[in-house]
Amino acid sequence: MNQGLISLFIPIIVIILSMITKRIIAALVIGILTGGILLAGGNIINGCILAVEHLVKTAANKENVYIIMFLFLFGAFGEIMKLSGGIKGFSELANKYVKTEKGALGTVWLVTIFTFIDCCFHGIAAGTVGKALIEKVKGSKDKLAVVLNVTSCLLIILIPFGTTYVGYIIGVINSSLNKSGLRTSPYSLYLKSIPFNFYAITMILISIGIILFNLKFNDIVSKYNNEKENKESDHGHEAHEQCEFEEKAPPRPFNLIIPLVILIAATFFFFWYTGKGKDQGFMGAIINAEFEKSILLSGVVSVIITTIFYLIQKIPMEEIESHFLSGGNEMMPPIIVLTLSWGLSSIIEDLGFVKFITNSIGPRVPAIFIPVVIFLIGCAVSYFMGSAWGTWALLMPIAIPIAVTTKMDLPLVIGAVLAGGSLGDNASPLGETAILSSTITDVPLMKHVKTMLPYSIASIIVSSILFIVFSFVV
């Protein structure tokens, strides 16, 4: 069996192992070691050495180092902001004006403007505000859980700057482009793919419909009202924990608003500054910016200014340092997954993966079905793994070479990968966003997942139709 064919089986085996074991990191390690041994002609010792060399080579790449540091820094930034009393301040401010269930649920959307940096940070902040308001107006916590879930995951995926998702997505796109021999802006492709994340867009529209028109929501929820509640979960998140200082911090909404304004301003400034010599006009500079460097610089500037801002208010430096480290450490799982996926991509490239796809598989695949098949595979993988991050890391290196070979529109295919991966965090009982949303709103996890299911299925059907239609259009 030639190495090109073997290179195709390695990521497939990794995907299957991930779905069966729910352990994406272990599956990636097995894939990397297997690929290294095959590259070494069956020599186990040399194969392990080759595997480590590929990991080090890809992790040491300058653009990849920027992304790793960015992810750690943005996780830390979100955790630092929990110290400031900003969340409590927002809750007290909103409490003066919100009188109805629609108002309480709408506030979750409003809070997103100031908490979009990370899905977990948004879940905690918006969930804290939303829960207090829903209890005040005696509204539905089930609705709150759905709105919180959608805005914590699917809405943030569509925001093209200043989020932990952006850095990660650019990382997997850039790696896949390099392996395919393409020299184009990964950020530009990501921007163009956003309108094609049909699953996220459809679910967002449905959640708005639930708030405004109910959309059979009460009928669906009533099916599960008599079921035994199970609030226990093995998937706890340390972000739920609050230190004593957080609980005592005075309510100051501007402590949440000002750091986010600084972050947005710094991000666009560095986009412009690093791209201004390459094209005419502001938008041209944004598109041609050194993306990885820009987002890291904006994060560094935002953390420094925010730290000084909090120190002036007598927030202890030891608390800031502690939250900085704990927030960064929460990002270690996606950082490890991303680093391992880079290493696996490098190994299968050396085994002849891209060449095999280009010469053998690509010409035989009907182009119009590529986006919808990739989307549906992504849905299955992400649902059983419960991870958008892992699904994107596994499927992007396969999808982009196939798209290049068949001359399928790259943004459409990238959108299919992102849409399929989105399902896992949103609708899987193993998904971090589903677990976080149900925990914060005091809704049993399985009841929340079952409530989401009809809407998720409807969104999958709508998205599948749209991927087929747009395969003809673009």
- Taking alpha carbons only, the member of 381, 423, 453, 388 closest to residue 21 is 381
The confidence score (pLDDT) of residue 10 equals 83
CA of residue 473 relative to chain centroid, distance: 28
The confidence score (pLDDT) of residue 278 equals 57
Number of CB atoms found within 10 A of residue 222's CB:
10
Residues 29, 340 contacting (CB under 8 angstroms):
yes
Per-residue HEC secondary structure of 343-357 comes to HHHHHHHHCCHHHHH
The confidence score (pLDDT) of residue 354 equals 62
Number of separate domains in the chain:
1
- Angstrom distances, CA of residue 474 to CA of 87, 199, 376, 392: 43, 18, 20, 23
The confidence score (pLDDT) of residue 45 equals 93
Q: Please say whether the dihedral angle defined by the alpha carbons of residues 371, 387, 82 and 300, taken in this order, is positive or negative.
A: negative
- Taking alpha carbons only, the member of 428, 462, 469, 464 closest to residue 202 is 462
Residue 45 three-state SS: helix
The confidence score (pLDDT) of residue 28 equals 87
Give the pLDDT confidence of 173-210 residue by residue, as tens digits.
Answer: 988 888 777 888 888 899 999 999 999 999 999 999 98
The confidence score (pLDDT) of residue 357 equals 65
Q: What is the largest CA-CA distance in the chain?
A: 70
Measured CA to CA, the distance from residue 320 to residue 303 in angstroms comes to: 10
Which residue do the tokens 């709408």 mark?
106
- Taking alpha carbons only, the member of 309, 237, 242 closest to residue 88 is 242
Which range of residues forms the domain containing residue 19?
3-473
The confidence score (pLDDT) of residue 15 equals 76
The confidence score (pLDDT) of residue 363 equals 63
The confidence score (pLDDT) of residue 344 equals 83
Residue 75 tokens, joined: 């996780």
Measured CA to CA, the distance from residue 392 to residue 432 in angstroms comes to: 15
- Taking alpha carbons only, the member of 188, 189, 108, 102 closest to residue 156 is 108
The confidence score (pLDDT) of residue 238 equals 38
Residues 34, 379 contacting (CB under 8 angstroms):
no
Question: Which residue positions in the chain have pLDDT lower than 50?
Answer: 227-242, 244
Measured CA to CA, the distance from residue 157 to residue 281 in angstroms comes to: 27
Contacts of 215 (CB under 8 A, 6+ apart): 206, 209, 455
- Taking alpha carbons only, the member of 243, 258, 248 closest to residue 325 is 243
Give the pLDDT confidence of 215-248 residue by residue, as tens digits.
Answer: 777 767 776 665 444 443 444 443 344 454 555 5
Measured CA to CA, the distance from residue 390 to residue 388 in angstroms comes to: 6
